[in-house]
Structure 1
Amino acid sequence: MRREIGQFLRRLQRERDASPHTVKAYREDLTALADYLADDDGRTPALGAVTVSDLRGYTAALAEAGYAKSSVARRMAAVRSFFRFARREGWVANNPAEALRNPRKSKKLPHYLSADEVARLLSAPPAGTAQGLRDRAILETLYSAGLRVSELVGANDGDLDLEQGLLHVRGKGRKERLSPIGSYAADALRAWLAKRNVAPDARAGEATPVFTNRFGRRLTTRSVARLLEKHLAAAGLDPRTSPHTLRHSFATHLLDRGADIRSVQELLGHSSLATTQVYTHVSDRSLREAYDRAHPRAG
């Protein structure tokens, strides 16, 4: 079984051009399945001997071990993908993963900041230092374009068009999109770029990152999380707020102000409208609160 897993991963990387992150996730998920199915001597069963009962037992074992439903669902997706491939290759006569169902997810509304809270956060970085200018540009850009933090740190100078107010974004699954940047974010970026330090030993032809650390090298996602923690404390805001919260806030505020959900889907780079629809629940809640406050017969 481990041999077939290795062949599947190589095909995933070579023919489907999967990212290293995706291949790593599949490897971890499928290796965990192989370990579960192995006997006391570490021998895994032949692929054709794996049954749907084995796979359901694995799902139950993950739940008993305390894995979140989202983590179980991700592992089941990897298992289904692997066995679909195995069936196409003729390694198995039947696909035992076909009957697997994902655990029912609890509907958890995303945490977001109000417009006033966002304004407080964006004004927290000091404007008198290069680091402060950088941090303000980071927060403005995350909120203005609704970016994932990985998309932000991966941005290069060639992706920016400040005159047109656009950013070329490379998103999940190697999908690309153009994201508008508001005037506040554009001004913050101009101020930061005028002070930015770029590593002197950068190789010729190497893309210049928009956001750098004090050594002039590309900023990491962890660094963005750390600087956000600092400015949340300065602004007196919920310390549980993450960089992704600004993306949630971006979507919620757009919907609250009348943007249609299809446009928000495009701006977020979501493949499925169902992923975007979680924000309509937040927006509906805001509408309900406004109704209850304002309508004379609401009570």
Structure 2
Amino acid sequence: MLEHLRSGPSGPHLDGFAAVLERQGYDADTALRYLRAAAHLGHVVAGQGGMPNDIDLAVFSEHLRACRCPRAKGGRRNHHTIYGAKLFRRYLVEIGVCRLADVTAAPAEPVLVARFKAWLRKHRGASDPTVKLYARDAAGLLTAVGDDPEMWVPAAIRSFFMDRASQCGHGTNEKLTTSLRAFLRYLAVEGRCRPGLADVVPAYAHWQLADMPRYLSAEQVSRLIAACDGDAVARRRDRAIMLLLARLGLRAGDVAQLRFADIEWQTGSLRVSGKSRYEVRLPLPQDVGDAIATYLECRPSTFPSDYVFLRTIAPYRSFRQGDGISSVVRRAMKRAGIVSPFKGAHVLRHTAATEMLRHGVPLDKIGLVLRHRGIDTTAYYAKADVGLLKQVAQPWPEAL
């Protein structure tokens, strides 16, 4: 099948590329499409007098717009052709045949931002996404008000914040407030700016924990878990994920980052390390442990990883962050026919907390399971228990 493809400019590297695609779990039809794309790419590069180390995917993409190559074999401009060419170029880079694309060098990261990132990781235990977000806002502040913090004045900082806030929603603005204040406090501690500048960053007017907890009913949770029944790898994985979220109230990132070493089968416990490296051991319920074990029996083995959960579409790899886990929940909710304004993994965390409260678990114990820093955050879930609220509510004086 590959003989006619091997005769082209990409031929010497197609067998190795095919072996990589097979190891990564691509099925035969998809791999063939990518191999055709690789062969097509080779002919285009050769036709323009280029060598393998001169591959420019932008030029190839432009060629595909009006491609009439007789060898294309259906591999003209579509997702498989473009993505296959990208994978082939990545493979050539890995084996040293192709050099990395020459792109306009991004501005060097300011030294202050680099040190701020290191400080966040060491002293705040911040995750990579948080560090990236804080660094972006810190760099924006440096660009807007100058690279010498000793010369900064409150008016300039407030002006920067108000300009950015006018273009964003309340969620983004809350994060901007937090990141700028953290950066300014860091600079003050390091003696690089006047103390107190963090206080000039306005707080966004949004009442914390003012809304009602977002949760599913017990019947909806049962339907959600039932929607993951089946022997397919994806269904087994999804069932284990749903149970971890609904029974233990884990965050999406906790599930994405779960490793084999975190599951202590002998003691029936689970080690979870979330925000700020706050690590706890949680009891592993029997049904949750059974679901994980059932998934591990058929978990893809082509991708060497110590992460428990992998994607089920090639190339098999771990979930980089919690967004993928939330996508799994959203698809399961759709299969279960659950109509709710709240979608994603976090609604199951709220659900777990609400269920624990309704079963009489004290707020402080719920806070330990959810790894809350303060009891006020956990008390937020008491709003969902009307019976409990009736017990603590005081009658109006006229009723006495």
TM-score with structure 1 length normalisation?
Answer: 0.81
Change (3 A) 1:5 1:194: closer
92-101 or 179-188: which moved more? 92-101
Structure 2 contact 125–277 (Cα < 8 Å) conserved: no
Letter in 2 for 1:33: L
Distance 1:282 1:51, change over 3 A: farther
CA distance in 2, matches of 1:90, 1:208: 42
Q: 113, 135, 147: which one pairs with 2:216?
A: 113
Q: Is the 8 A contact 1:256 1:286 kept in 2?
A: no
- Deviation of 1:211 after TM superposition, in Å, equals 1.6
Provide the identity percentage.
Answer: 25
Residue aligning to 1:23 = 131
Q: Could you tell me which residue of structure 1 aligns to residue 297 of structure 2?
A: 194
C-alpha spacing 1:122/1:34, structure 2 compared with 1 (3 Å)? same
Q: CA RMSD in A?
A: 2.8
Question: Match for 2:276 among 148, 164, 173?
Answer: 173
Change (3 A) 1:131 1:15: closer
Deviates more, 1:217-226 or 1:173-182: 217-226
Alignment of 1:32-47 (within 5 A): 32-37=140-145, 44=146, 46-47=148-149
- Could you tell me which amino acid in structure 2 is paired with residue 218 of structure 1? S
Q: Which amino acid aligns with 1:111?
A: R
| 1:235 alignment partner in structure 2 | 336
| Distance change >3 Å, CA 287–CA 180, structure 1 → 2 | same
Higher RCO (C-alpha 8 Å, min separation 6): 1
Distance 1:288 1:78, change over 3 A: closer
* Partner SS state of residue 223, structure 2: helix
Counterpart CA distance in 2 for 1:224 and 1:15 is 28
Spell out, residue by residue over 1:150-206, the C-alpha distance to the aligned partner (whole angstroms, 9 max, x if none).
Answer: 11121122211345431111211222111222222122122222222222x62xxxx
Aligned with 1:78 (options 179, 188, 211): 179
The equivalent of 2:226 in structure 1 is: 123
Aligned to 1:59: 161
2:116 pairs with 1:8: yes
Between the aligned partners of 1:218 and 1:148, the Cα distance in structure 2 is 16
Q: Which residue, out of 269, 281, 287, partners 2:383? A: 281
> For residue 3 of structure 2, what is the aligned residue in structure 1?
none
1:29-78 CA-partner distances (Å, limit 9, x unpaired): 112223443xxxxxx2632232222233333223322331x432322222
Q: Residues 224, 45 of structure 1: CA spacing in aligned structure 2 closer, same or farther, 3 A cutoff?
A: closer
Distance 1:189 1:20, change over 3 A: closer
**Relative to 1, partners in 2 of residues 1:267 and 1:79: Cα closer, same or farther, differing over 3 Å?**
same
Alignment deviations for residues 4-35 of structure 1 (CA, whole Å, 9 cap, x no partner): 34443344446666443332122111122234
- What TM-score, normalized by structure 2, do the two folds share? 0.62
- Structure 2: how far apart are the matches of 1:51 and 1:5? 19
Identify if the C-alpha distance between structure 1 residues 167 and 7 changes in structure 2 by more than 3 Å, giving closer, same or farther.
closer
**Equivalent residues in 2 for 1:200-279 (5 A)?**
202=304, 208-214=306-312, 217-220=317-320, 221-238=322-339, 240-279=342-381
Rounded to whole Å, the distance in 1 between the matches of 2:172 and 2:379 is: 21
CA contact (8 A) 2:174 2:203 kept: yes
Residues 180 and 201, structure 2, Cα contact 8 Å, conserved in 1: no
Q: What's the offset of the Cα at 1:257?
A: 1.8
CA deviations on 1:210-254 (whole Å, 9 max, x unpaired) are 222335532454443333233212211026421111111001111
Which residue does the alignment assign to 1:295? none
Counterparts of 1:192 and 1:83 in 2: how far apart (Å)?
Answer: 47
Confirm whether residue 185 of structure 1 aligns to residue 288 of structure 2: yes
Report which of the two structures shows the higher radius of gyration computed on alpha carbons: 2
Q: Any idea what SS the aligned residue of 1:277 has?
A: helix
> Structure 1: which amino acid aligns with 2:353?
A
**Residues 76-104 of structure 1: CA distance to partner in whole angstroms, max 9, x if unpaired?**
22222222232233223443223444223
